[in-house]
A and B are shown apart, each in its own frame.
Chain A
């Protein structure tokens, strides 16, 4: 089966850098995705990695190491609006499995 592990909570200050880790177990692998969800809102797609290495999109970057079954989301120059939950996700045959989510709190 598939499982994803990520920390439940992370706290950081405005302007800092924070890394949210995700380890996964899969029977097949199509890539690791990241979604953001603000309180009361819908999940929205942030990034995706299929190959090893770092993918950068503005202040957000995502990293993947397939040999370690490990990835992370890196958020730089944190802003208050980055306070949200972040989910890693993998495809499992024809459905998608999410981690339990990491709640990021950004403090002034």
Chain B
């Protein structure tokens, strides 16, 4: 089954404790991205990757890191989480940059709470 898998689905952590949210896709997609979703703000892109070892900043990259060592995986790293990073996070993948005819496939989301 074609899917994008994120882990964990829920996470409560403390300020400053490094964490990683994993994302894996099985569709051989070249493009992957991370979004955060906050009430009234919709989905905002954090980082995206055009292919292995190629990443770039989205709209809200501060406080986040990513890596793309393999085509299928695109982890999101919070080196020192802060309460303002409490949010719902989505990973997405697509054959090419999404929008237009290219459909983005989303993972089920990770609800992160930083206390």
Q: Which residue of B lies closest to A44 (CB)?
A: B106
Interface assignment of B48: CB less than 8 Å from any CB of chain A: yes
Q: Are A42 and B100 in contact (CB under 8 A)?
A: no
Q: Would A98 and B42 be within 8 Å (CB), given that A30-B99, A42-B108, A43-B90 are in contact?
A: yes
How many residues of chain A get a CB closer than 8 Å to chain B's CBs? 26
Q: A30-B99, A91-B98 are in contact. Are A97 and B45 (CB under 8 A)?
A: yes
A30 to B108: give the CA distance in the assembly, Å: 26
CA distance A95 to B44 in the complex (A): 10
In the assembled complex, which residues on chain B have CB atoms less than 8 Å from the CB atom of A98? Answer: 35, 42-44
Q: Are B45 and A95 in contact (CB under 8 A)?
A: yes
A71 at the interface (CB under 8 A from B): no
Verify A42–B107 contact, CB threshold 8 A.
Answer: yes
Closest A residue, CB atoms, query B98: A96
Q: Is B81 among interface residues, defined by CB-CB distance under 8 A?
A: no
Near A by CB (< 8 A), chain B positions 14-71 give: 33, 35, 40-45, 48, 50, 56, 58-59
A53 on interface, CB distance cutoff 8 Å = no
Please provide the chain B residues from 64 to 100 with a CB less than 8 Å away from any CB of chain A in the complex: 90, 97-100
Residues of B with Cβ closer than 8 Å to A?
A: 33, 35, 40-45, 48, 50, 56, 58-59, 90, 97-101, 103-109
17 A–B pairs (Cβ distance < 8 Å), ordered by A: A8-B40, A30-B99, A30-B100, A42-B108, A43-B104, A44-B106, A90-B99, A91-B99, A93-B97, A94-B48, A95-B33, A95-B48, A95-B56, A95-B58, A96-B98, A98-B43, A100-B40
